[in-house]
Amino acid sequence: MGESGCSNHDEEVWASLITKVVRGHEDEEAVWAFRFAVERRVWNVVLSGRQNDPDSAKVRGPFRNLFRDPHAAEDFIAEFVEQIDRSRAKGRYRDDSFLPLTQADALKQIAAKGLILKRAISSVRKFSRGGITGLPDDAGNPVSYDGGLDGGWGDQVGASPATEEGIPDSGLALILRLQRGEPVLDLQIKGDRLAAVEETAALQTWVLLDQGRPSFEVIRVMVEGKIVGGIPALLKAHADGQREIDDGLADCVTEIEDHPAMELKRLDGIDRRRARLEARRIFEPLSASSIRDLLALPSLNAGEKRNSKYRSGVAGLFPQFDELLHAMELMDDDGESEP
């Protein structure tokens, strides 16, 4: 049944549910009922057809330019509902103004069409910036994202032609594996001894380096011989860096949730910050202070210079990710440090 066809019984059930949410007295049954109501609302905004019959679903209106098929839209709906439920758990809807509203009117405030569309644009941008998250292993075509509220393609990141093995040269197929924590990175080094930028690259990507590569033994000897505190200290620095990145990504989500009517220019800025954080998760999780401590450098500025030179030369160290690193804006231009 659509959201506009609620019976008196449905409204009574909703009144009981929203009272629990507003008062902060949700039990497990209420949590799942709230999630289901929001999911049904968002599903009806994004898709047509019957929710219990996915084969009948078609992407609606401006969302057609965002999602290539209903399955991609369903993935977004699940992500959106999860974000709304996190907001509920944080007490965002503990507001008496929800109590006199019908189910339809309350859900229009909780999941407004404008908010759903903006979140969809944000989600697709996140997925499309060089394959940051969720790309299938056989992704090889250009990925586009919506340019505005009226639809239309706003920008795209291209992929290189596939090799004889069928894996895109741009590295799209490897990004998802790296995000899962698989050690498949091949650090390109030029000699038997690592240059400073290669040392920095080895530290930054240590947990993702492919130990089966011929260059790994040289890298391992350097790490074990130069790092203050050895491998345990390096692993701890990586764990600290990942927590910092997770906090930054959570701040991005919170900022969007706190300002559901924000302008697209501001939303784009948040998306760009999130894209850079996702790139850092793989290629630069260690801060300047971590690099300083691990290499016993004389100052924080020395650690910052190490990271800046590494960013400027990262394409040569991981050539298969050249295009993606530019798209994710990790690389510095002209050797300047990122803001």
- In tens, the pLDDT along 205-234 reads 999 999 888 889 889 888 888 899 989 999
Helix (H) or strand (E) holding 191: none
Region of 152 on the Ramachandran plot (φ > 0 left; ψ -120 to 50 alpha; else beta): left
CA 250/CA 254 separation, integer angstroms: 6
Cβ pair 132, 328 in contact under 8 A: yes
Cβ pair 235, 226 in contact under 8 A: no
Tokens representing residue 2 in the block: 């659509």
User: At residue 145, what are phi and psi to the nearest 5 degrees?
Assistant: -140, 160
Cβ pair 132, 275 in contact under 8 A: yes
pTM, two decimal places:
0.53
Side-chain-facing half-sphere of 221: CA atoms under 13 Å: 7
User: At residue 107, what are phi and psi to the nearest 5 degrees?
Assistant: -70, -30
Question: For residues 49-72, b (16+ Cβ closer than 10 Å) or e, as one string?
Answer: bebeeeeebebeebbebbbeebeb
Question: For residues 214-224, b (16+ Cβ closer than 10 Å) or e, as one string?
Answer: ebbebbeebbe
Question: Three-state SS across 278-302?
Answer: HHHHHHCCCCHHHHHHHHCCCCHHH
Q: Among 264, 275, 287, 286, which residue's Cα sits nearest to residue 329?
A: 275
What is the DSSP secondary structure assignment for residue 60, as one 8-state letter? -
CA 333/CA 313 separation, integer angstroms: 10
CA 286/CA 264 separation, integer angstroms: 31
Cβ pair 179, 281 in contact under 8 A: yes
CA 97/CA 311 separation, integer angstroms: 50
CA 110/CA 119 separation, integer angstroms: 13
* In the chain, alpha helices (H): 8-23, 28-46, 70-89, 103-110, 113-128, 172-179, 196-204, 216-226, 230-258, 264-283, 288-295, 300-317, 322-327
CA 165/CA 276 separation, integer angstroms: 30
pLDDT the model gives residue 173: 63
Q: How far apart are the first and last CA of the chain?
A: 51
Written as tens digits, the pLDDT of the chain (339 aa) is: 445 456 688 899 999 999 999 999 999 999 999 999 999 999 999 998 877 776 778 888 778 777 878 888 888 899 899 989 988 998 989 999 999 999 999 999 999 888 888 888 777 766 554 434 333 333 334 333 334 444 333 344 333 333 333 333 345 567 777 877 888 888 888 877 888 999 999 999 999 999 888 889 889 888 888 899 989 999 999 999 999 998 888 888 788 777 766 677 787 788 778 878 888 888 999 999 999 999 999 999 999 999 999 988 887 888 777 666 665 556 554 333 333
What is the DSSP secondary structure assignment for residue 275, as one 8-state letter? H
